[in-house]
Structure formats: C-alpha cells, structure tokens
Structure 1
Amino acid sequence: MRFLDWNNLLANHFFNPSQSARQVRLFVSKAEIIAMGRLHFTQEQQDSEIWADFMSALQTGPLAANGADSVFDKAAQVATKWRAGQYQRLSGYDQSFPPYLAYLVFSILPLIEVQGSYNTNNYHGRMEDFIKENGPYEIGSKPRRPQNLRNKLQDIDHLWDELADWANVRMDSQWGSFQAGYTGNKSWKYVAKPLSQCVFPPIAIRRLPEFFSKASLIPGDFYTQRSFRDLLIDKGVQWLGLRADAISLIQGESGLGKSLTELVQTEFSRWTGEQFQLTGEEKERAYRIGTIVPLLVQLKPGTAGQVSFSYRAAFNTEPPADLCLGGMDDLYQGENWSRTLDIEFQDTLVLQDKVHKWKAQSPNREIRLFINAAHFNLNSRFWLETLRLSRIDDMYLLCKESLTEKIKNWGRENCATFSDQSELQGLPVGYALFRFSKPRASHPEFEMLKVQGEKSVSVRESTGLKVSYNRYLNHYMPEFTVSNAEGNEKPFLRYRDDDTQQNLLAHPSLGGVWLLPKEVRVGSPFTICLKDVAAEGAKFYEIIRPFLNDLKNENVPLRDAFGNPVENPAESYQGNLIKVSTKLESLADRNPFTPNLKWIPCQNDASPTSDNILMNWLIATVNTNTAGFNCAFEYICRQLFPGEPTRLLQKRKSAVNLLDYLGYIDYDYNKDKITALPPKLISLPTSSGRKALLIGCASAGLLEDLAAYCRAHQEDISISVNPRSLQHQEMLIPPVITFECAQVGTLERLAEKASIEFDEWYLLKLKALLPSLSDYKAMLLGGESAQSWDGVDIEQKSFSLQTLAFMPGQDYDRNYALIECRPKYLPEYGIWIKGSYYVVDKNWGKYLLFHHYSPKVYSYDRDIDLAGTKRLLRNGTKLALPAQLPLPRLFSRLIIQLGGIAPEFKQLNIQGVRGSYNIYGNTGTPFIDNLFKFKLNIEIHKTDEPL
C-alpha cells in the first residue's frame, strides 16, 4: 500500500461521522494497524508482511517528501504543502485528511508497544528501542542503522495544533474533536503531546462505565472535578488498570494530569447509565447487567400557600416499553423524560425494576435547586430540580434547616430578589424553601451555588430538527442558549460568506434563550456571536432545505429475499428497486393489473394540503439511526399535538415500521440504520384503466408538480390525495397519493415529467421475490448455529402460542422454541431447533413456531403442509392479524402497498376472547390468500364476526 493509503486508512479510523463531537485520541496498537490493513492484502500474506509494508510506507512517504531524511522531516514537509493548499490532489484523488496523520500515530507507537520498566514520561528511550526492532532505518545504510529521532519531536510539534485546527474548526468537529495536549512542565515541552494521547489507553476508557457504576455515581448528577480526581487516585489502578505513574501525573498539578481528569469528566457526561459485563468466554461478548437513571425532584407551587412535591426520571437511554418503577408503568412521556411520578418527597429515593434491572435514584442532598420546567419543554406549572445556578431566571432553593442562616446571608447580600418561602404548607419536615433571582456572587462554601462567569452559546436541547452535526431543517428552527447569561446579552449571527450580521430574538418567556430571525438565510453557514466574547473556534451552524437528488437506492445495501447483504444475485432488492429472474408475464395474478374496463375521466382538483415535515426531515438526513428518528418524531409530535402524549414509545416503533412497509424508508433493524428512499410510481391492481401509487419520500415541491401536471391534463389523468386515519396521522404517516388514467403511457409520461421512476410490475416482482417459510427454515439450518445466552445472567423469554407474548422463565423445550433475550438494549431473537440455537428474524421465527405446533388442515396440494391456527381471520375484504404476529418484512410491504393503506390497530372481542389486531383493508382477493397458503403455509380462517 502507498503511504497515502495507510494515512487515509488510519485517519478514517479516528475521524468519521460516528465520532461527531466526540474527543478523539490517536491511540492505536500495532495489532490494530495490522488488522486495519488486512483487508487490503491477500489471505496468504502474514501479519509481519503487513506491518513491514506500513513501516516501509512511513519511510518512503508521499512523493512530495522525497528529499527529506527522517520520517519527522517528511511529516513537516508534507504539512507545509498541505497548509499552502498545494497538496489537495495527489495520485489522482482528493485528500480528505491531513496527510501527516500517520506520522503523528507513529510518534505515539513507542509509548504503546514498548513498556518494560520505563517511567511514563520516558519517551526517547522507548522510541530508540522501538526503532531498533521495527525501523525506520537510515536510507541506504548498510548495515541498517536506525534513524536517530532524538530531539526531532520539536520539528512536528506544530502538527498537533494543526490537526486540532483541522478537526475542530475546519471540519467543525463533525468527524470528531481533537485536543493537541498539554505542555506540562518545561522538560516535557514536546513529549507531553504524544504522551497525552496514550497515558489513558482506550481499554481504560471502555472500562469507565463500569468505573462509574462501582463508584455509585448517578448519570447527569453533580460532581466536582476534585471528586473525579480523588476517585481516579483512589481506584484508577484497581478498577481501570492505570499504571501507577499515570496516577502520579493525576496527583500532580501538571496540565497533563488535569487533562486526564477532564477526559473522565467528559466521558461521564456522555454516560447513559448502562452497565455492561463481559461473558468470560473465548470470544467475549458484552451484556447489560443494569441501568441506572437519575430521579429528579419536582415542586409545584399551589394556591392558598401550598407547595407539593413529586418526581421525574430522566432517561439517557430509551427505557423498555413495559418498564415499571415503584409499581408505576407507562412511564415514558417524551424527550427522554418520564411522566410525573406522584411520590412524596424523601431524602433519598430509589425505584427499581428488577425484571429489566433498571434503577432510578435520587441522592440525599443538603441543597436542591429548581428552575421552571418549561426550560426542559415540560409543563410550566412545575419547577424541576437542576444542577446549575441561573443568573437571570427565578429559582427555588430547598435546603436542610441547618443551612438556613448560611443561605439567607448569601441570598440577601448577593441576589436581586430573595424571599423566604418556608411558611408554605407541604414542605418536608426539616427543610427550608427560598425563592431568588439574579445571583451576583458565589456562595463561599457550596459548590452548587457557584456563579460561573464564562459565557458560551449552544443549541438549546430538544429544539430544531437536526439533520447532521450543527445542520438543521428549515422547519421549527433551533433555539440557542447563552450559558451563564446575565440578561444584558445581545447575541447575533454572522454569516461565513460575507460577514453579514443579524440579531437574535429573545425568547418570550425563558431567560437566556434566543431565537433565530425569521429571515435567516437557508444554505448559508453562520456562527452565533456575543459582544466582547472571543469568537475564535466558534461552531458553524446551517439551516438547509430537503434535496431529493440525494435519495438513491444505492444508499442501502443489495439484499437477498431474507434481508441478507449480497453481491449481485439474480433475485434481490435494494431500497425500492427489485430484481427478479421470473418471467412476470406468465404469472397468474397479472390480471388485476390489466383490467378490461375503460377508465372514465373525472375532474379532480386534489392537491397535497400541507407539507409533511417528517418526510422533509428524512429527505434532508438521507441516513439516520433510531435515536435520530426518535428525536425528530417526538419533536414534530410535540409541535403538532400539544399536551402530554400517550403510548409514545409504541407510536414511534409502529411509525418506523409502517414507514418501511409503505415504502418511504429502508429500516435496517440489525444495523440500526434508517435510509430515506427515492420517490417512485408503482402500478396497483384496479377494476378499470390503470392505477398507480406514489411510494418513497416526496417533497412538497414534487407533490405540487405532480398535482399541477394532473390539473393540466384532466382528460388523461387524475390524482387522489387521501388523508390517513387519525391513528396514523398521530404517527406522522403521509397521505395516500394515487393516480388513475386509461393507459400505462400516461403514467410513464407523468413519471418522466417529474423525474422519478415508474415501475409497472413492482408488486409482481415483489411477490416473485418472496421466499417461503420452508425456504427460510432451510436457510437457517444451512448456516452455522449461534452461541446461545444460556449460563449468562440475562433474562430470557420464550414465545407463548397461547398468550402471543414472550413469557419469562427458561423452562422451555429446546427442541423447538423461540427466545427473546436482551444482552443490550435491542433484543436478540433466537430459535432452538433440535437442540441447536440460531439467531432469527423475530417475525419469521413466530411463523415457524406457529407452523410447527399448529394442527395441520387439508390442503389440495399434497406438497403443502398447511397449518390451521384460527388466529388469522377474514371477513369479506378485511383481514385481521394479531398485533403480536406481524408479517415478515417483504410480506408486509406487499400487502400494504397493494393499496397504500396502512392497517388499523383495534381491540376486538372475537369468539369471547379479547385481543389486539391489525386490520388490513382491500385484501379480499386470491392474491392475498395464496400468499399465506403457498408462502407461509398457513390457512386464513373465515369469521362472521365484525372486524
């Protein structure tokens, strides 16, 4: 491999979109470098050959550094050309990364690979030993002499700062942020920067969640830097595996020691509260052993001199839908908050769900601060516990009575307003309550009452529709907060292109919160500035519009009929593009798509009534994950449907699945990836003429173009815009948009005019692609069995055919059983077949189980072993499937896209049994019945009871 290939390989390992806003450390071992390079070498080549190639590439360097003697000289020359803009193209391709990064990695390797008895700060001795064994060597020397790099670090010292400038300013931390390191004492002037990258190795960083758990820390709680420092000194060796001399650095007052403590603080701020453990197997697997979340106190001032207290849990990771804390369920309200928990105030409160191993905890505090809950997008009648002192908002302070005089003295001398509220009824015994505003100075004793002076601007949490790092959709603009605001700030935005400025608008009710001007430019990056506050290193923000041209089926992998990634098979699908080898004209089900009746034109002025904001967000993001989707979904719901939502977790999960089945997105559950699909017209079965459905994500502009075309050609084509039911509107599902005309050519011209694809036989291709239940079982058994979670302390549930639910307990038949277990948040589903365990798609697994255990019924085809479950019901054109028995993915797509109509969720009492059902309409055709008989080998039971 060439030098630049190695450089880009390493750079992409450290800096990529998944590292957005996270601190990057250039810690990488020899073994990891070999593993990265392995993909670019043949299987026959040894690890030693790959490593030799890497070291040779460093010594040779790029073409631009041929005249340099040492590897560090080459790094300096390469950086000079990069800085001057002369190094943007080399070897025929653009350089996305600084081309000296591999040399910085090399400067760290001796500290990682050479241990022995060296002190942590002994850099040069390690470097000399490393070079003797690995190179680089002096060019042309015989015998080979190691390059002498002593005192050469100063030649590349500036590159650490240049890398920080590239990552933090030029790339705006979108691929990760970087700190150049601390200089420490004078004797460490150049050594401290490579040293700061590896004193705290990644394995210790990976152990930090366990470290926090053992220390009984609560995520999001208030801890001083001193407390983290003391904890590292006390337990860093035992719990993190740090070297003793690393602890010495933390004990000292050097900048390097301080940076280690700050790193731990930063990782703590990102900790979700999840606790993991390794299995101890040969191939170790991590599994979740518990989750801890903060429990915050709420107070609510009432009438007639009263005050009441309650609690809210703050979720840093999504809770299980059936989480139960303190006997209370249906806890999730939205924006990662629980609903109000009506529990009287206690000094210390712990609520547990032993089934899911969740714990919500409120620690004992001498002082508790409260700010209006509207700051967290919650009901403004409540005041919620906070850990930060506001310099402009009214606040409440609850403290132990023993601290009353100390608080009074501070409040009366240093706050603009201060009043004693301790006479209110409802206060807990032994506590005093005060209300105050605008503190001017810190309390000399209590860290929580410290007035911070340094100001900064950031996006207010849970505002704006975030598309990517610091980029937002032009709907529901982000709001900005000024930390430590005093009330006299006048923030403004400055555009990058021409330095034009616009003032921000003060929030009508919340102090320190600012709104973008209505006429903010779209597509023009800007910074938010404060007068007299340095703007150096300020982040750029951008408001963008959705752009349909970014949506391509190639954005998702090519898959076979079971959803497995494949190279280029004859039978496959990619997004909403389907490839089959079957001759479609020979299919018996072709008739409904080509009726004999003529289409009669009808005047139709239908047009999309409003912009679908979720569609615009999906178009703008192109790719996202469930966490990103959840944030956008909840935010839009909060704007469209004010008030406290119900069953929000269930609505979100149903929404993402329906959007996938309706053809708007590709939802890859296993990789946690959601991809917006391009718009497309597909033919539908119809009784007259020709009919087509619009699938994929469509912008408001495209919809208007389609409607305008139909208005201009009313004699040839009509458009129908049918709104969803209220149930589906609450899931933000767009309306059904169909077109009717006499000839296929009319649909082809419409698609060509709108620059979208038209697929006449899409649904028949999809039907031809569908595998059978037997195919899926053969695929499972033909692959390797997996390692089960037996013997690991995680809950396993088995699927019950009686209750249609996963039931706790491990007493199940391993000859044939479907299992759910949660080693991490997303569950794993496995099926036991004759004592072997296979990871399975949940929906396919349920139908395998049903078919195995159900009584078999007569079938006119002796090759079909037809199961009669009497759980799948039909009445006329309506089909009822138990909600707990969803169809496999491609089956759901086919049935739903036959009319573009999403199923309705209903509670029904059928044959004296009450249950939850998904009701599919317009399914009274042999087309559907044959799918269940010939593909899923299950009979649909007819019923006279209303569906």
Structure 2
Amino acid sequence: MKNNALQRNTIHYSEWNDKIAQYFFKPEKAGRTVYLYVTEELINSLGADNGVGCQEFIQTVKNATSINGICKKALGSMQNPKWRYQRQGYPPYIGYLALFVLAAGTEGDFSPNAYYPRLRELLGEKPTSGQYPDFDKMQTLWKDLEKWANVDKSGELGIFKVNITGKWVHVGIPIAQTLLTEKELKVLPIIFAEAGLETISLPSERHIASLLVKYGRSYLRTRTLQLLEETSEDNKLHQALIERIVDELCTWDGTTEFQSEGKTQKYGILRLCCKLDLIAKRASFTLRCTTKHDFPEDGLILNFNNEFYYCDEYGNGWSSSILKGKIFDASMLDWGRSYRMESTDNKWCFKLPNSKIRIFVEGRSMGLPGIVEIGQLPKGSPFYLAARQECCSFLERWGTSSCEGFEKLHILKGLPDGWYLFKATAAHSDEIINNEYPILSFSTGTRLYLEGGLRVDKGNWFFRFAPPKLVLQCSDGTAKLYCNGRLLEDSSGRGIYELPPDLPVDKNIKIEARKEDNIINNLSLLLLKDFPLITSIKTPNIDCFGFVKTNKSEHSPEVRGALVKGIDCPPFNFNTLLPIQGKQCVVFVGKEAGQVAIYPEESILIDWCPVWAIAKGRLFDRAIFCGTSLKECKPKPSICKDIIKLNLWKKILLDNHKRTLPPIGDIRLKKLWLEFQKGAKNV
C-alpha cells in the first residue's frame, strides 16, 4: 500500500517537462509570443491531480541530475536521440528552464546579483553570489527552444524569442520571462484604453513607457513601474519589458472588460485630420475613429455631450469624418484635454487622448486626404506639429538645432485658442527633447512581423497564392532582411517587403533580420499549395436547430462553416431581404418621380422596382440600396400625376432636416444617391 501511495505521488521528470510545455505551447497561442512565466502557484496546479507540488518538482529536477551539476544535465538532455535526430515531442529541457525561471521570482528587484543566490537557495544550496557553474551555456537551450517554436512548429503553438544581450545575457533570459505577472497581463487592456493606445499608429517605446507609468500606477507592481521609468538605452530588461508590452498591445483588438462595472466595450482612438490651405492660411480640422474591429454595417451613432454624431467605415481601420449634418469641427475642442465618444448602445468607445503636442503626416500612405495625426515622430521624413503655446519656445529650439526645414506656420483660422502649427522637412535627432516630451522621441526597437496574406490557421501557415508581406521596422535603418538566406530589397521604401515568388511550398521558410552578422529578430512561415477543405475544417456539424450533430447522417440537413448539406436552397426572394425589424417603418423609393411606398402603412406589392429602402431610426434614417444594378437604377425623368406622391418622393430625397444617412460601402452608391437628390431638386 505504501509503495502504491508513493507511486501515485510521484511524477517523473519527463512528465513534469511535458505538463509545463503543454501549458505554455498550445494551439490557442498560435502566432502569439510565449513567455515561460513559471511560478510556484503554476507548478502546484499542474501537479495537483497527482497530489504533488512545487517542492516535489524541484526535487524531481534535482534527482534527474548527476554529480556533474544541473546545468550540464540540462545541456545533456538535448542529446536524447529522439530529440537530437527526430525532434519529436516537446523539447526535453523545458523542465530545467522552468526551474531557472522559478528562481527569478516575482518579488524583489531585477538585479542580476540577486538571481544566483535565489537559484542556489531553490536547489537547497548556500545562497552565495557569483555565476552558477555552466549557467553561461544555458543560452544554447533557450536558442534551441526559439528554433523549435518558430521554425520547427512555424509558430503554430506560439512564438518564443530570446532577446536579451549584453551584461544580462545569462540571467536576463529567465528573468525576462517574469517581467509581467498574470494579473498585470489581465489589466493591460484597461491601461491601454485609459492611456489611449492603439497599433494603427504605434507610439515610440519611450512614450509607451511614460504612458504606462502615468496610467498604470493603480494596476502594476512597484518593480514593474521602476523598470518602466528606467530611461537608459543600455538596460536590456527595460527593452525586453517594453517589447513584451508592445507584443500585448499589437495582439489587443481593443476589447476591454470592466468586471467592476459588468460591461465589455470595444475601444478605439479619435484622430485629428486636417485639410490645410496655406495660401488662405486656414486649417479645417475634423475627427475620425480608428479601430481593429470591423465597423457596423449601418455605421456608428456616437454620443458626445448629449449630441449625436455619425460615422461609417472608410477603410484600413479608419472611419469617415465624424458628422452631424455637416463635418464635426474639431477646432472647437481643447486638444490638451481628453474626450470620449460612446455609441448609443455603449458597446463602442472612442477616446481622444490629451496631449500638449500632436504629430501629423501626409495621409496619402494611409489612403486619407490632407494631413493625419499619428502616434510617433517619423525620422528623416516630413511632418507637422500642433502645439500649445507653453511648448513653443522649447519646440523651436529643438526644431532649429535638430530638424531640417523647421518653421512656424501662420494660420489665421482653424486652430483652437492658444495652439500653433509647425512644419518640418525632417527630424534628425530627439536628444534634447525626448525626456521633456516623450511623444517626440524616436523608436529605438526593431519589429518584424507579417502583414496581410490568407492564413490557413492561427499559425504562420499561408496559401501560396496569397502570401503575406514582411514588415521590418528598425529605429536606425541598418537592419537587413533575409529570406532563406537571400537578401531582400525594400522596393517600397517603407520597410515593407515582398516574398520571392519562387519559394518552396510545404517547407519552412526562415525570415531573419540582421545587423551585420547578428540575427536580431526572426520568424518562420509555411506556404501551402492547397489543402483538403472538408478534412481541414475543425468546426463541428450544426443541425437545423443550431445544435452540434453527434450522429453522421448523409441526408439530414447540416451546416459546417460555409458548407451546407442535405437541403435544397429556395430561389432568391427579394422580399425576404428587406431591412425590416418588427414594426420598423421603411420607405421604398423608385427611380421615377412619385415612386414611393411607406411600409407597413402601404403594401410592398408594388408594380415598380425600388432602388432605395430608407430604414427609419430614432435619431437617423439610413438609405440602403436595394436595386437590381447600378446601370438600371439611374433616376429617370417622368411625369407623375399624383401630386401627393410626387411631393413625398421629393421631400424624402431632399432631406432638408439631414436625417437620412447616405449608403455605406461602395462609393458608387453614394454618387447614385447624390444623383437622386439632384434629380429631386429639378422636379
């Protein structure tokens, strides 16, 4: 009986290794950065089913080592034939790496001098300082883990990065895994939302750090805040922490849960946009929303100071200019304060962050007219600055010494009181201004990521006919990008690279960012020729009642993704797609004067084909195109003998009260709507 109890309360090293690996590397982490954040609580939970905990884990790892020491044993685990030659299963050294991370702890400081005593104490040794024997060789294991996750598995179980160099190279890697606790990770979206952060225009690392210190004091640990406040560029842990926060920011879709209030909101940013007329010395500032989410099909109605405004999707994460009958005049706001606009259903919230200085660039690269507000100062390219009066003398001193073509613009109309506009051909240094105004600091990091393409799954698997683009952002512009050892050319001039057309399919493709002979960032991807649709879709079959099917009948109706089986689709019926909700009033308008019907007051069984269905709302109405084709739906001059219908047709189209919102989506529909309004004026 004692032997059986002992057997139940024992987990071999290989079992611990796989339990830890499975916890961190799993399909849900595909394409996302993984950190081995190992704590005593985690180890206890992983061993709970077997009645063992953290102390048993430490003892098991110690028992697995020989007199040669734990580091030599960890290095020797790579020689396992199953791993060395076939690389099957999980890396056999993850258990050792987990122990090294456990020694980093979650409290105290990040000093490398404090790490080795903690490691020795964890192993039951005297907690003396000085490097642990052979600990400098553990970097081999970390780099092999990086290769396994990013190359062997193509990121399908998560991405792992080794990014600590310099004096932190040995202890920095395990310490870097503990930079953010699980609790801190959960509150980051709230901090991002309060700070007005988003990734469509990512701020510099220094500015992100300053915002997190300002808005994160109620959420982050003291040692996290202290590391964020570190301004030395030589502090590798500071850089690693910022990189981790940027990773989290880039994967955040804007959804924020407020448990205390019991609500979830989609957060976005309000950006200032401007049409500048330097001849007339006039600026026209408007507001647009940015979000990672798709805008609602009917656009957004936003509440601001109990006034209701409207915008719809423009493209690439941007909305149209916010309006209420006419374009919202953003110069009426004090840009030094923050403002919020919320949708009428409270599901959306957009924030204009407060700032004494705002950066603008030409909007052409984003497909927008005029100049557009961004979050980061561009290096070596033209930009504009809007600044409050108290910032101007410092700005002009910096602009004169560190910028090219810096000048103050004489704008007579369009700026808020006490604000001024500047223009520069290029900024070459941020040295004298980045501490005083972090928003004007350059980026110091290097980012490598994939953009676009058609993914097969959550990992870096793409169809060959729709590959992604490679984006390399390097602060000093010295990094070069290689694909399978081949140097790529930046034909865009903006750090956006095309994959070579002759790449192999169904094989790992290695992408490396290098500075001289050093690899500073890397990833891998897989291009697939095709895939069997039915077997690759992991979604279940759904029956006609919306329940998951358990029996496999070939003839019963079922849906699986876009596949429909066991049902004959009825012919298309226009009336089933009319935009009617309950007793909602809908006005149908035809292409000839007088062709108008109001549902449900009138029958929709009319002898003419409607072009527009205008859904009546509480605050605004929406024009929806419901015609057969644009060519056949042009307004047609005709004589109408029914004066009442004629006047109603004209009144609806002229829309003197500006209640009706134009159609969204295709610009041709908006032009057609304007043709109808022009035709109504001539009736």
Q: TM-score, normalised by structure 1?
A: 0.47
Q: 2:19 aligns with which of 9, 34, 38?
A: 9
Q: Check if 1:549 corresponds to 2:537.
A: no
Structure having greater relative contact order (Cα 8 Å, sep ≥ 6): 2
- Which residue identity lines up with residue 185 of structure 2 in the other structure? I
Alignment partner of 1:369: what SS? strand
> Does the CA-based 8 Å contact 1:98-1:163 persist in structure 2?
no
Cα distance in structure 2, aligned partners of 1:874 and 1:34: 70
Match of 2:658 in 1: none
Q: Does structure 1 conserve the Cα–Cα contact (< 8 Å) formed by 2:109 and 2:223?
A: no
User: SS in structure 2 opposite 1:24?
Assistant: coil
CA distance in 1, matches of 2:111, 2:508: 47
Matched, 1:294 2:292: no
Match of 1:343 in 2: 328
Kept after mapping to 2: 8 A contact 1:119/1:245: no
1:312 is aligned to 2:300 = no
**Which amino acid is 1:386 matched to?**
I
Q: Residue 385 of structure 1: CA displacement?
A: 0.7
Match of 2:355 among 365, 376, 389: 365
1:288 to partner: Cα distance: 3.2
Shift of residue 75, structure 1, vs aligned partner = 1.8
Output the CA distance in 1 between the equivalents of 2:514 and 2:103.
Answer: 46
Q: 1:4 to 1:123 in 2, by over 3 A?
A: same
Tell me: CA distance 1:290–1:313, structure 2 relative to 1, closer, same or farther (3 Å).
Answer: same
- Do the aligned partners of 2:157 and 2:459 also contact (CA within 8 Å) in 1? no
- Give the counterpart letter for 1:87 in structure 2: R
Give the Cα separation in 2 of the matches to 1:455 and 1:125: 33
Residue type of the alignment partner of 1:198: T
**Are the aligned partners of 2:388 and 2:418 in contact in 1 as well (CA < 8 Å)?**
yes
Distance 1:51 1:405 in 2: 59
SS of residue paired to 1:102: helix
Distance 1:76 1:481, change over 3 A: closer
Contact preservation (8 Å) 2:195, 2:211:
no
1:333 aligns with 2:320: no
Q: Partners in 1 of 2:381 and 2:357 — Cα distance?
A: 18
Query: 1:544 offset after TM fit, Å?
Result: 3.1
Cα gap change, 1:391 to 1:32, in 2 (>3 Å)? closer
Contact in 1 for aligned 2:209/2:228 (Cα 8 Å): no
1:354 deviates by 5.8
Is 1:154–1:190's contact at 8 Å kept on the other side of the alignment? no
1:387 partner letter: G
- Judged with a 3 Å threshold, the aligned counterparts in structure 2 of structure 1 residues 476 and 561 are, in CA distance, closer, same or farther, namely closer
Once the two structures are superposed, residues 905-940 of structure 1 have per-residue CA deviations (whole angstroms, 9 ceiling, x without a partner) of 899xxxxxxxxxxxxxxxxxxxxxxxxxxxxxxxxx
1:142-169 deviation digits (Å, cap 9, x = unpaired): xxxx999998944344335532453266
Find the counterpart in structure 1 of residue 301 from structure 2: 324
Conservation of the 8 A alpha-carbon contact between 1:68 and 1:74: no
Offset at residue 294 of structure 1 (A): 1.5
Give the root-mean-square deviation of aligned CA atoms. 5.5
Distance 2:42 2:416 in 1: 57
Following TM superposition, by how much is the alpha carbon of 1:347 offset from its aligned partner in structure 2, in angstroms? 2.6
Per-residue CA deviation, residues 872-905 of structure 1 (Å, 9 max, x unaligned), is: x999xxxxxxxx9xxxxxxxxxxxxxxxxxxx98
Alignment partners' CA distance in 1, 2:248 and 2:103: 26
2:351 maps to amino acid: Q
Aligned pair in 2 of structure 1 residues 401, 304: CA closer, same or farther (>3 Å)? same
d(CA) in 1 for partners of 2:176 and 2:267? 31
Is residue 74 of structure 1 aligned with residue 70 of structure 2?
A: no
2:425 maps to 437
In the other structure, the counterpart of 1:622 is none
Residue type at the aligned position of 2:99: F
* Residues 230, 478 of structure 1: alpha-carbon distance in 2 compared, 3 angstrom cutoff: closer
Paired with 1:514 and 1:454, the residues of 2 have a C-alpha distance of 16
The alpha-carbon distance between structure 1 residues 662 and 370, as it changes in their structure 2 partners (threshold 3 A), is: farther
How far off is 1:10 after superposition? 1.6
Structure 2 unaligned regions, length at least 5: 1-10, 576-580, 586-603, 607-614, 616-624, 629-683
CA distance in 1, matches of 2:134, 2:295: 52
In 1, Cα distance between the equivalents of 2:479 and 2:119? 53
Q: What's the counterpart of residue 145 of structure 2?
A: 166
Contact 1:79 1:99 in 2 (8 A): yes
Counterpart for residue 87 of structure 1: 84
Name stretches of at least 5 consecutive residues in structure 1 with no aligned partner. 39-45, 133-145, 280-285, 581-660, 667-675, 687-721, 728-799, 805-872, 876-883, 885-903, 908-947
2:178 counterpart (189, 198, 211): 198
1:76–1:155 CA contact under 8 A, matched in 2: no
Deviations 1:614-655 (A, max 9, x none): xxxxxxxxxxxxxxxxxxxxxxxxxxxxxxxxxxxxxxxxxx
The amino acid across from 2:51 in the alignment is S
Q: 1:299 Cα deviation (Å)?
A: 1.1
Aligned partners of 2:205 and 2:443 also within 8 Å? no
- Structure 1 residues 96 and 226: alpha-carbon distance in aligned structure 2, compared to 1, 3 A threshold: same
Residue pair 2:58, 2:99 contacting (<8 A) in 1 also: no
Structure 2 CA distance for aligned equivalents of residues 315 and 384 of structure 1:
15
Which residue in 1 is equivalent to 2:51?
48
**2:134 equivalent to 1:155:** yes
Counterpart amino acid of 1:324? I
CA distance in 2, matches of 1:304, 1:118: 57
Seen in structure 2, the aligned counterparts of structure 1 residues 18 and 382 have a Cα distance that, compared at 3 Å, is farther
Q: CA deviation at 1:48?
A: 1.6
Provide Cα deviations, 1:159-185, integer angstroms capped at 9, x if missing partner: 355324532664565544445586898
TM-score where L is the length of structure 2: 0.62
CA distance in 2, matches of 1:116, 1:415: 43
CA contact 1:440–1:451 (8 Å) conserved in 2: no
Q: How much does 1:235 deviate?
A: 6.1
Q: Deviations over 1:735-776 (max 9, x none)?
A: xxxxxxxxxxxxxxxxxxxxxxxxxxxxxxxxxxxxxxxxxx
Q: 2:142 aligns to what SS in structure 1? A: helix
Number of residues of Structure 1 aligned to a counterpart in Structure 2: 551
Residue 335 of structure 1 deviates from its aligned partner by 2.9
Matched residues in 2 for 1:393 and 1:163: separation? 39
Q: 1:210, CA displacement in angstroms?
A: 3.6
Secondary structure at the residue paired with 2:185? helix
Superposition map of 1:7-156 within 5 A: 7-20=17-30, 22-30=32-40, 32-33=42-43, 35-36=45-46, 47-48=50-51, 58=61, 61=64, 72-81=71-80, 87-89=84-86, 95-109=88-102, 153-156=132-135
For residues 102 and 315 of structure 1, the distance between their equivalents in structure 2, rounded to whole angstroms, comes to 40
Q: Is the 8 A contact 1:369 1:389 kept in 2?
A: yes
* Partner-residue secondary structure (3-state), 1:328: strand
Q: Distance in 2 between matches of 1:246 and 1:486?
A: 27
Structure 1 CA distance, aligned partners of 2:28 and 2:59?
30
